[in-house]
Structures are given as C-alpha cells and as structure tokens.
C-alpha cells in the first residue's frame, strides 16, 4: 500500500510539474559584435578571434532555443533546418557588424545534412559546405551603430542627439575629469605615442585610448606596459565618458539609439503574439553605444551598476516571451510575460545569461500588457516619431513632415467643425484675386486701346533658354 501511495504521489508530482512547465513562445536577441581592430587605425575589421566569439555565442543560443532537447526550446521552432518565416535577423550596413552577424547565425543554425531539396527527377540535393544554411540578414535603415564612427553620435543622422552628446563636453563634470586626468594620460605616452599625439592623450579620447590598448592586450605577444591599476583606471574613465555620451535622464534625445531599439523590440515581440507563435525569433546586432542608451531608458542601472559599463565583445541580452498556460494552443496575451537576461561577453553553457528586472522593478517577470505600456513610454516605433524627436525635415523626414502638415491642415478649419479648411479658403481667395486682376487688365486694354502682339523669335528663344536653366536645376 505504501509503495502504491508513493507511486501515486510521484505520478501526481510529475503531472503537476508538466502542467506548470514554463513555455517559451518566442525571443529577441541583441548582440554586440565580436573582437575587432582598434578604431584609431580606421577601417575597423572583425578579427578571427571576433568571428569565433560570435560563432560560439550563436552555438549557445542554438542549444538554448533551437535544440529540441532544451528546456528553453522555443515552442514549435524548427530544428535543425531553418525556416525563414520563423526568424529574422538584421544589422547596420557595417563590415564588422555584418560579419559578426554572419558568424553568429552560422552558430544558431549550423550546417546540417537535412538541408536538402528534392528535384523533379527524384534526386536529392544537399546544400554546399555540408548543408550550409543561408539566413537572410536585413540591413537596418539607420547607421547609428556604424563601427566606422569614433564616437557614439558620430554617424547619427539625428542632429539633436549629436548636439545633446556634444553638450556633455561643456559640462562641469567632464571638464573636471579632463583636468584631473591629464597627467594620468600623459604618463601613458610610452605605450600611446605610436598612435596618438601628445595633445590627443587626454580624457576626451578616453574610449579610443582604452580601445587601442585593449586590442594590444588581446593580440600583441608583447602586451602594452600598462599596470593592473592603470588598466582599471582606463576602464573606469572610458565607461564614465561613454555612458554620459549615450544617456542622460534629463535629455531623452541623447538615447535615440536605445529608443529606436526599444521600438524594434516591441514590434518584434508583438509579431510573435500577433502571429500566434508562427514567428518565433528576432536577432539584431549593434555596438556598445546602443546597449548603453537602451540600458539607460530601461532603468537597468537600478538592477546593477554593471549596466553603466561598456559591454564586452559578443555580449548579448535577450527578452523571452514565456507562459505557464497549459494546452497546445497559443496562449492569450493575458497569460504571457516577458523576461530579460544579459551576459557580458561570449556566452556559453558554463556561463549562462543572468536574469534582471526591467523598468526599475523588483520582479524578474513582467506581464505582456505592462511591458507594452512601459515600452510605449520610451520607444520610437515610426519614422514620424524619429523625425519629430530629432528635428529632421530632410530625407525620409521630408515626406513625414509633408504628411504631418497635410494631416493638421485637414483638421484646421475656419469656424471650427464643418467650416472651410484653411487650404481651401486660401485657394478660393487666390481665385477671387486672380479674377479681379484679369478684369482690371481687360478694362485697361479696352479703354487704353492696347493690343496683344506676338514677340520676336529672339525673345522666344531667350525665354526657352531661361526655361532650360530652370529645368536643369530641377533635374
């Protein structure tokens, strides 16, 4: 009887465990690029070390989200063959980021003998390179993450963000640090003189100097002669400078990159819910600057001071859509929550991502509805929002501005509702004015006895030439 009772309890326990098992419905991954050459050299390139970092990181997420054997396997995602409707990937048009993405995606969906295609003659073709899987990588429509930039807003098309970042250089905190660290940077002249002039060895170039010496620590057989204490100081100063350039709580436009990313994350996760799980995984790649600004607007420093430091190469964070709802149907949005996790540097099975609460909260899970509400407060999800915040009126913003004007004009009527709109009123006024002018001219010709004569050929040719100049300018 006791054995029977124990057996029954065990079955009940397993049944409860299965019923309460968490379901991973979808995820979004954001990754920094891998190790690269220093910015001070120009034309930055992904190194072999960086390529391996990205491949290893992608392999981890294959084991975490793709493998059918994983407890965090995304429900219904294809394994081992990639399906385009289930996954999307994007990166800015930049060599380091594009190549990093390629390496990462090779790890997420590695070559497989099942990557085949059957032909009409009943023969089966296996993809080249032992079943190599090609995952389309989209190019993001902004270049704010470009690694060719020597500082955060250097390649941004958002003028207000550039002005905001520049204002940090005029702040008292910056000027104090620049003055107090001048002697420190000058003391590094023996290891910096090959790449920096004496005047460039200052806090203004804190990140570029750190970046240069970091490359040496990884790649040079004779490492730069920098003590551990000096290295800690270099990291602290670079972190301080770059965080302040990327985020300021009183000046939202400075975190433009993070706001755009917040909008893309919201759109991505919502796509999974709207498609009832048909779409499953979004992957995006960027630079440390976007991490900084997104961490700032998400209030991540309240969870840990580590979020104010420059993330290592191949660092990733994920947002997972999870549910405890039972059954095989896709759950209601009311039964879905979001969880954030982060790992600094290349992630592996021995060093998994750590879960942190978002938006300054204490709980690790946040309901989908609350996540949407909080994200909408900080996210930019349309061109018009971006244009308004950045103050742009050219390029993609010219059409956005025109549409905005048209919208406001349609509701801007004289006398309120039901009246004539101001644009229509203006046209009517112009027609009335024109009619009056034409009437006066007719009266003038009739009373004065004037006639209309054809101009000479030369005059017409001059007019044609002039018109040609105007056309040239338009073209």
Predicted confidence (pLDDT) per residue in 136-150, tens digit: 999 875 444 456 555
Q: Does residue 456 register a pLDDT over 50?
A: no
Is 447's pLDDT higher than 90? Answer: no
Which tens digits make up the pLDDT trace of 385-396?
Answer: 999 999 888 877
For residue 349, report the phi and psi dihedrals to the nearest 5 degrees: -65, -20
Contacts of 208 (CB under 8 A, 6+ apart): 38, 39, 40, 150
- The CB-side HSE value for 454 (13 A sphere, CA atoms) comes to 4
Strand-pair category, 281-286 with 316-323? unpaired
Report pLDDT for 140.
72
Which phi and psi angles does 74 have, rounded to 5°?
-70, 125
For residue 134, give the nearest of 160, 162, 115, 119 by alpha carbon.
Answer: 115
Q: What is the full DSSP assignment across 260-318? A: HHHHHHHHHHHHHHHTTTSS-EEEEEE-HHHHHHHHHHTTGGGT-GGGGSPPPTT-EEE
Structure confidence at residue 222 (pLDDT): 81
**Which one, of 191, 212, 193, lies nearest residue 38 by Cα?**
212
Average pLDDT, the chain: 83
Report pLDDT digits (tens) over 286-306: 999 999 999 999 999 999 999
φ, ψ dihedrals at 452, nearest 5°: -100, 120
pLDDT at 44 over 60: yes
Under DSSP, is residue 74 helix (H, G, I), strand (E, B) or coil?
strand
Query: How do 354-356 and 316-323 pair as beta strands?
Result: unpaired
How much is the average pLDDT of 439-451? 41
Per DSSP, what are the bridge partners of residue 341?
Answer: 318, 355
273 closest CA partner among 371, 365, 360, 383? 371
Q: What is the DSSP string of 25-39?
A: EEEEEEEE---B--G
pLDDT tens digits, 395-426: 778 864 445 443 333 333 333 333 433 333 34
Contact 340, 318 (CB under 8 A): yes
The rounded distance, in Å, linking the Cα atoms of 101 and 54 is 7
Rounded average pLDDT over 264-271: 97
Give me the mean pLDDT over the 336-360 stretch: 96
Average pLDDT on 64-93 reads 96
How far is residue 288 CA from its own chain's centroid?
11
Q: Are 219 and 206 in contact (CB under 8 A)?
A: no
Q: Is 439's pLDDT higher than 60?
A: no
Provide mean pLDDT across the span 327-349.
96
């Amino acid at each position: 009887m006791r054995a029977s009772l124990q057996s029954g309890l065990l079955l009940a326990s397993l049944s409860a465990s299965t019923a309460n098992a968490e379901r991973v419905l979808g995820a979004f991954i954001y990754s920094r690029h891998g190790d690269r050459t220093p910015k001070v050299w120009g034309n930055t390139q992904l190194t072999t070390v960086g390529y391996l970092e990205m491949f290893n990181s992608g392999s981890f997420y294959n084991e975490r989200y793709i493998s059918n054997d994983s407890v965090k396997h995304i429900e219904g995602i294809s394994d081992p063959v990639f399906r385009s409707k289930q996954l999307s990937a994007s990166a800015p048009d930049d060599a380091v980021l594009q190549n990093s993405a390629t390496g990462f995606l090779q790890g997420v969906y590695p070559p497989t003998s099942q990557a085949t295609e059957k032909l009409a003659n009943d023969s089966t073709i296996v993809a080249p390179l032992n079943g190599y899987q090609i995952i389309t990588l989209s190019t993001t429509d902004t270049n704010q993450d470009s690694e060719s930039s020597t500082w955060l807003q250097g390649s941004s098309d958002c003028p207000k963000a550039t002005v905001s970042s520049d204002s940090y250089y005029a702040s008292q905190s910056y000027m104090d640090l620049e003055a107090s660290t001048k002697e420190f940077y000058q003391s590094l002249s023996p290891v910096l003189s090959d790449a920096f002039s004496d005047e460039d060895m200052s806090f203004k170039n804190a990140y570029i100097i750190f970046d240069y010496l970091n490359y040496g620590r990884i790649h040079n057989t004779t490492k730069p002669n920098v003590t551990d204490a000096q290295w800690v100081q270099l990291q602290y100063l670079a972190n301080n400078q770059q965080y302040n350039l990327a985020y300021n709580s009183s000046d939202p436009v400075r975190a433009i990159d993070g706001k755009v990313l917040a909008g893309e994350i919201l759109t991505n996760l919502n796509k999974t819910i709207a498609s009832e799980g048909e779409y499953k995984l979004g992957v995006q790649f960027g630079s440390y600057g976007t991490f900084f600004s997104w961490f700032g607007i998400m209030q991540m420093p309240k969870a840990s001071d580590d979020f104010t430091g420059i993330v290592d190469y191949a660092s990733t964070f994920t947002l997972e859509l999870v549910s405890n709802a039972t059954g095989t149907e896709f759950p209601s949005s009311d039964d879905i929550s979001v969880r954030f996790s982060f790992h600094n540097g290349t992630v592996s099975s021995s060093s998994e991502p750590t879960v942190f609460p978002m938006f300054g909260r204490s709980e690790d899970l946040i309901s989908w509805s609350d996540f949407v509400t909080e994200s909408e407060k900080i996210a930019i999800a349309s061109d018009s929002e971006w244009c308004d915040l950045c103050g742009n009126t050219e390029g993609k913003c010219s059409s956005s501005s025109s549409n905005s004007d048209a919208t406001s004009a349609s509701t801007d009527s004289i006398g309120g509702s039901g009246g004539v709109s101001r644009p229509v009123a203006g046209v009517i006024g112009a027609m009335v004015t024109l009619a009056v002018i034409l009437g006066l001219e007719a009266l003038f010709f009739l009373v004065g006895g004037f006639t209309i004569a054809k101009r000479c050929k030369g005059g017409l040719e001059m007019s044609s030439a002039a018109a040609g100049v105007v056309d040239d300018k338009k073209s």
